[in-house]
Amino acid sequence: MRKYCVSFFVSFIFVISGIGNISANDLCRFNAGQGQYDLPCDSFKIKINPQAETFNFCPGGQEITFSGEAWYAIEGFTNYNAENFVFSWVFNGIEKTGPTVTYDLPETGAYVISVSVFDPQNVCSADTFETVKVGTVPVFNNTRPAYDVLCAKEPNTLYGNAQAVTWTGFQTSVVETVAIPDGTGDNYTSSISFDVFDDAAAIQSIEDFDRICINIEHVNQNQLTFRLQCPNGNSVLLKNTGGWEANLGEPVVWDNVTHGVPYQYCFNTTPEYGTMDLTTPNYHEYTDNAGNYYFNAPYLPAANYSTSEPLENLIGCPLNGEWSLTINDNLEGENGFVYGWSLFFNENFYPDSLIFTPQIVSELWFDGTLPIEDNPASVTKEEDGIFNFTFRVTDDFGCSYDTTFQTEVLPLPEAEILSDKEIPVCEGDSVLLSIKYISGNQMNWVYEWQFGGTAFENRTSDTLWGKAMGAYGLGITDTITTCFNYFGLDVSDQNCDLTIPNVFTPNGDNINDKFEITNLEHYPNSQMVIYNRWGQKVFEHNDYYNNWWDGENASAGVYYYILVYTHLGKKKHLNGMVTILR
């Protein structure tokens, strides 16, 4: 006989043997004749708990662990033993059993992990699944120092550029290496066909378009046009001819056989640069795949650019169908290759298990192990040597990736300007300035003397006569490394007139006790001879300075001196009288 539940307006709690407390709302599930629930399995639930607390993982071959958790969602229902639950797992085609399982992490992609649980006591089962994503490695295109080799004390700029990589479970790109027809009237054309979207899916606004990226290298970008065409025939000109003569990537110039190094150029709704034809090029040095070296070569960096025609041209384009890219080289003589291209729309159009992009959430430069603020980052090395700089990024999967570059810092010429006289010099004196070598290859040095910031003409030796008072400077360039250093010396003068006393008092009170001549220190090797009034020599010294005559054993009275000193290369004589008072 079929039994029916009766609805009550008042809630009661029933205690039924073997199943614990049951509310009146749950009683509808209870079969009074059987003493059991008719539908307890409807409330049997299960979920997957990843040990890492996320279903997003970094690539790299680690092990991942998952636990299953099952329960009955009926309040007060206790007629089960969780230890008897039987869990069955399937991940990446591998079956396992048990409440906790460990799997080897597969390669980059999206994978379904499913689990079912069986309760033998109530003969109930439940199942669920989750999508496990193994992240992609970002591309560090155009991450570089401004200079691979530079001189000490020169600033260097570090440019960091990490581009997130999208994984898809369907074709989103063309990968091929094809020479671009060189001004022949032919063009490069290839297509991607989509069939994974809803039939009615179409571009309604430019936000529905994500990006198109082209891997290409070519000499002189201003000869090329890029055009994207959608399935209904609408198209947008991505890049027009014109602009600066600048390379795309690192091509092999005047060689239509050897492949160069492509850069990835993207067009989207959030560009870093304007249109390619209006972008000012950067400059770098590189060695191509044929061994040719290029110095200060102009190029457009790998980045996101604006389209030459508005992306609104694509509004109304269906997503499913054939999308085509056409590249034209409109002038003969310059060559290059296309290495493929990719096309993406707003990820909301895709099934979650078919596409994902780990987004870059942080980036940082390191000088060795020391973090550097900002990107681009500016660094200056005071000393020469080999230095490592690392650019590290972290994505929203919690994965970190980095790339390291080496720069060589060359030594500067190190020297010092010396004067043949102590500075300040005496008024009217000139000085001979010379170079004291400290370090560097002096055989490769060339000199440029300056005074007051203005260079002397034809003064390129390592010495200079300084006849004026002021700021002298010397620029030294190493002709091999091109490293330059500058040294300065301020030359000043002072009054060096001699002040000779006519009396001194050698009485031991430390006041005027000696025959001391002011400023005589500026005239080394001065000769002093002193006579008494009878013409007898009482004192003589050939370097009279700081060894002043103290009148020892001389009586009070008048004495006669003769001082001979050299000034501006000429000997001068001074004579006079000095009186000793006791």
Q: Could you tell me the two tokens for 359? A: 């987004």
Q: Provide the pLDDT for residue 6.
A: 32
Q: Provide the pLDDT for residue 421.
A: 87
Q: Provide the pLDDT for residue 32.
A: 37
Are 196 and 366 spatial neighbours (Cβ–Cβ below 8 Å)? Answer: no
* DSSP of 262-317: -EEEEEESS-SB--GGGPPPEEEEEE-TTS-EEEEEEEEPSSEE--SS-GGGGTT-
Largest CA distance in the chain: 162
Other CB atoms within 10 Å distance of the CB of residue 542? 10
Distance of alpha carbon 422 from the chain centroid: 48
CA neighbor of 235 nearest in space, from 159, 325, 117: 325
Domain ranges for the chain: 13-134, 137-162+359-410, 166-356, 414-494, 503-580
Q: Is the omega angle on the peptide bond into residue 376 within 30 degrees of 0, that is, cis?
A: yes
CA neighbor of 276 nearest in space, from 246, 298, 235: 246
Q: What is the DSSP letter of 135?
A: P
Single pTM value for the model: 0.65
Q: Is the omega angle on the peptide bond into residue 424 within 30 degrees of 0, that is, cis?
A: yes
Are 368 and 111 spatial neighbours (Cβ–Cβ below 8 Å)? Answer: no
Say yes or no: domain 13-134 is CATH 2.60.40.10.
yes
CATH number at 503-580: 2.60.40
User: Who's near 129: CB < 8 A, 6+ residues apart?
Assistant: 48, 112, 113, 114, 115
Class of CATH domain 414-494:
mainly beta
Are 311 and 271 spatial neighbours (Cβ–Cβ below 8 Å)? Answer: no
* Residue with tokens 């006579």, as numbered in its chain: 531
CA distances from 16 to 30, 76, 87, 464 (A): 10, 11, 29, 113
Q: Provide the pLDDT for residue 22.
A: 41
In the CATH hierarchy, which fold is given to the domain comprising 166-356?
Jelly Rolls (2.60.120)
Reading the chain (582 residues) residue by residue, the pLDDT tens digits are 333 333 333 333 333 333 333 433 343 344 433 444 446 899 999 999 999 999 999 998 889 999 999 999 998 899 999 999 999 999 989 999 999 999 999 999 999 999 999 999 999 999 999 999 999 999 998 899 999 999 999 999 999 999 999 898 888 999 999 999 988 889 999 999 999 899 999 999 999 999 999 999 999 999 999 999 999 999 999 999 999 999 999 999 988 899 999 999 999 999 999 999 999 999 999 999 999 999 999 999 999 999 999 999 999 999 999 999 999 999 888 899 999 999 999 988 887 678 899 999 999 999 999 999 899 999 999 999 999 999 999 999 999 999 999 999 999 999 999 999 889 988 888 899 999 999 998 999 999 999 998 999 888 889 999 989 999 999 999 999 999 999 999 999 999 999 999 999 999 899 999 999 999 998 999 999 999 999 999 999 999 999 999 998 899 999 999 999 998 788 999 999 999 998
CA neighbor of 243 nearest in space, from 266, 226, 220: 220
CA distances from 86 to 67, 74, 395, 576 (A): 12, 20, 37, 124
- Is there a shared CATH topology between the 13-134 domain and the 166-356 domain? no
Q: Provide the pLDDT for residue 23.
A: 39
Are 496 and 519 spatial neighbours (Cβ–Cβ below 8 Å)? Answer: yes
Q: Could you tell me the two tokens for 9? A: 């307006």
User: Who's near 93: CB < 8 A, 6+ residues apart?
Assistant: none
Q: Could you tell me the two tokens for 246? A: 């600048």
Neighbouring C-alpha atoms within 13 Å toward the C-beta of 320: 8
Class of CATH domain 137-162+359-410:
mainly beta
Other CB atoms within 10 Å distance of the CB of residue 247? 24
Instruction: State whether the Cα torsion 197-202-205-206 is positive or negative.
Output: positive
